[in-house]
Amino acid sequence: MDTHSESNSKTRHPLLAFAARWLLTTNHKEIGTLYLCLSFLLFFIAGSMAMFMRLELFEPGIQFVDPLHYNQILTLHGLIMVFGAVMPAFVGLANWLIPMMIGAPDMALPRLNNFSFWILPFAFALLLSTLFMEGGAPNFGWTFYAPLSTTYGPPSTDFFILGVHMMGISSILGAINIIVTIVNMRAPGMTYMKMPMFVWTWLITAFLLIMVMPVLAGVVTMMLTDRHFGTSFFEAAGGGDPVLFQHIFWFFGHPEVYIMILPGFGIASQIIPTFARKKLFGYHSMVYATLAIAVLSFVVWGHHMFTTGMPLFAQLFIMYATMLIAVPTGVKVFNWVATMWRGSMTFETPMLFAIGFVMMFTIGGFSGLMLALVPADFQYHDTYFVVAHFHYVLYPGAIFGTMAAVYYWLPKWCGHMYDERLGKIHFWVATFAVNLTFFPMHFTGLAGMPRRIPDYSLQFADFNMVSSIGAGLLGLTQILFLYIVVKTIRGGEKATAQVWEGAEGLEWTIPSPAPLHTFATPPVIADGDHP
């Protein structure tokens, strides 16, 4: 009787049934899809803000917007890209792939998984609503330095603080779920040193999230009490120290940078062996290098603060530690290149994005080494050189990594092959546009153009025009990417069980148990079968 009435209810209310399915789902694949869709929507919104900023910077002078509103857009662009585009995309991939890679039926805590996703749309709706509040959106940059954010921030700052808390809660809950899943639900025989690299990078990323998100929660709570409860954590007149804010923020912020890149490392480590038709070179060294990056990321936060007047011994320690973190990163790049060396390589779209990731991320790494040097950093600090550096790390790293993953696993997810010709057009146009947008910023920065300011001297006009044209082209590639994904999901050539020809026995085919598996007898990973 109950079943009959339930089916009648679904027949009468299809919209209600559809909403209930997606609102209450505990299926890891559906939640992964929700994360990916939300991240792409927010990527478009934050990207539109970037387009607006580049339009303003197309030529000298104030064209469309005054400096106050320019900085409001800049603040939201940075926050939404970091917390709304990159991180949810990687969490979506983790939800889709980790259970299949370790032979688990689902995530360990499915209801918590649902809850940690549905916090996010409300957090970002709250953040975006600040645009329509009295005094406008926060205008103090995505790093929200005190006392600019505490003493002089608009009333919407309080909503920003609540939004950040909600994002942090979501990240912590998601990280707990990933750790519990990986530790407790691996198939029999899958020891830690047999796990795919994507699983390893996410396990380490999840620990980083649990360690640093409470630090961010602490600093925004201190902001709130400074604003409304008479404390003076960051107010010099009350005995506080504005530089304390920077120390706390960057103690969160620098590991956060690696949180945004480590899953990309894992994706590259899955894709490159498949299309090189070789096992990953130096699997164990890749795992240890990832661990080394995670540990060292906690002792280099001060390189964001060389110009604050820290003692010489602190500057030297931070400088050496920052240069040291390049070693495990270099190990990873070496291993990827060694995997490709003398492999039977083919260059399908996922491989192109993975190679583009490695090459352009390395450029960002070199400019990072330049910024690690204290005397040089004094010159580069707060110029467009820094903007060029972190966009070369983040766009080819996080965004190219995510796109490589989507092209790589989409046939497995929806059963259809994407249009290879369109995928390659997407890659080459996007690569050209990324370099056209961000490479000239190195030169404007070295020549002294300050960041976060909508006007500039005539000497920077040509490079800014080139960057703005590149940004427009880069924006168009996202529309092409959306078209390719939607076209693939709606239909097209059927994907076979062996999608990537000649990749027998490699990672793509191993992790997911057969669709009809009941898990009554979990699949056993044979000895010596490590990725």
Q: Which residues have a catalytic role annotated?
A: 77, 106, 142, 170-171, 254, 256, 258, 269, 303-304, 329, 332, 451
* Angle, vertex CA 383, rays to CA 380 and CA 385, nearest 5: 70
Is the bond into 440 cis (omega within 30 degrees of 0)? Answer: no
Q: Identify which of 210, 209, 198 has the alpha carbon closest to the alpha carbon of residue 100.
A: 198
Contacts made by residues 125-133, CB under 8 angstroms, sequence distance 24+: 126/159, 126/162, 126/163, 126/166, 127/76, 127/79, 127/80, 127/159, 127/160, 127/163, 128/45, 128/76, 128/80, 129/159, 130/76, 130/156, 130/159, 130/160, 131/72, 131/76, 133/159
The answer to whether residues 477 and 248 touch, using CB atoms and an 8 Å cutoff, is no
Cα(276)–Cα(500) distance, rounded to whole angstroms?
Answer: 11
Q: Taking the chain, what is the end-to-end CA distance rounded to the nearest angstrom?
A: 51
Cα(253)–Cα(246) distance, rounded to whole angstroms?
Answer: 10
- CA distances 72 to 77, 78, 154, 454, Å, are 9, 10, 10, 12
* Angle, vertex CA 279, rays to CA 33 and CA 105, nearest 5: 35
State the DSSP string of 125-149: HHHHHGGGSTT-S--STTTT-TTTT
Buried b (16+ CB within 10 A) or exposed e, 262-287: bbbbbbbbbbbbbbbbbebbbbeebb
DSSP class of residue 494 equals B
Cα(434)–Cα(359) distance, rounded to whole angstroms?
Answer: 12
AA letter at 129: S
Torsion angle, alpha carbons of 480, 485, 487, 488, to 10: 140
Buried b (16+ CB within 10 A) or exposed e, 226-254: bbeeebebbbeeeebebbebbbbbbbbbb
